[in-house]
Structure 1
């Protein structure tokens, strides 16, 4: 039996040499430049080893990179290089350009979930737009792939947020992110994957009984390392995954000295 093959080949790219002055990088979705990688390319620069980059032609006559930005950065830094070989495609706007980036890079391990997120936003991906909207309701956002300092209301846990939305719903995910960012305002790792999911579980399963203010207060009185240690102790005693045990630890912290309206971890889904 023959394997399935794509019947939509798209338009053939045009192979050409492009002046460095006409090439730009769209940082809305491109990955962060790694200086060590650029330096390595510079040290070993040789046309026989230089693979053509992939560029998208713009209406103003410039070209944006959707594959090969490290090669572009190295070529731009080389004093004897003024143009580079490229496969140029013509796309209709930034959405198609971001789609092209995803198509080239989606299966590469070097591409992070954050980079895929911003490319997805540019391309109008429904799941990524939903993640962005939920985080915005919580006063939070995904970190930029490059150039933006982390903060307590910024996260790189795109997959965890998306999973939390699917499993526990938008409202619970919003409450979880709001509580974490408020409680650990000085902690740039406040919106960690496991904390978002564990807390969203509690907000979903204890709707009407859980107090947002009390949860923030209890989180603020503790810290991530302490809670992680408590969760690990529970795991050693009873087994289970990290998120479940963190939910249990959060329940213990929340319920301590509480006479009524105790919360429970409940079912996962």
Structure 2
């Protein structure tokens, strides 16, 4: 599909396009180039939004001195957008023209303004800094500054880098945040693990980068701090529901076992927001399935659902841990009905008080195991209540 042509839009300004790879290159393209054509065939284009990387097959669009870069598939829609922006809007319609053109846009604006609810406008501050350029940069041109970057000389970082390198996935590779210094060196602010992982491979010569210009190294360090502190880690419940949506086998098994027990997983990590029948200890459930199997895990959850109907299980994790310990190592004369009767002698909150002041899942689970077994032995006769 050729795009080396010009478009005239009524009386609008001329639109010119050129596809990278066609020869000759039009005279209007070089003035917008930021540097020469690199070995991989790409070059940077200076647009009003910053530098854009032009790959072979991309289309450059120019109008009135402004340039844009689009893929071939995007050109038609983008040009139509330019065309519509070039057609002047009717701001006033005189008598006799309403039937042809509709109501006056000025009248419409007045009506909208009258119907708009009055309220204090939110104050928005101007954007800080200059817009970045998006570029594909060869790995050897990138570097890190140890003055503020985290050290990767530790077991955790080495494992992370090796894992990324072993199963590198472009869909997970967000552009690196890079500083272009006055001497034209390119320093990574965010993304050093991706860079080091790609460097371990031979089939990834370059990475996408979001390139900024900072005033000095102090500003780079501040941006490094902001970028890392601004990240909100994914909590365990968000991770679980994302895994369910991704059809992860382990997550789907947890979902099925919990649902069959008559319970469901909470969406909020705050215990004050939990509703009756909601549980949030997905990690403990996964561990129980892995160590003791789905049958015991299902039996424990079913006992909790039957023993504490219409109750919020704020201490559900500790109760679950105690019951797993009991039911995974049952005594020879163990009676499941008697255990359920023992659970029903207290509310879920009252059982939770048995672990008050204890820290750590194991200690709390042991405390609940002991308390439940004491009730099982002392207060509940054989055969249940």
* Structure having the larger proportion of residues in helix: 1
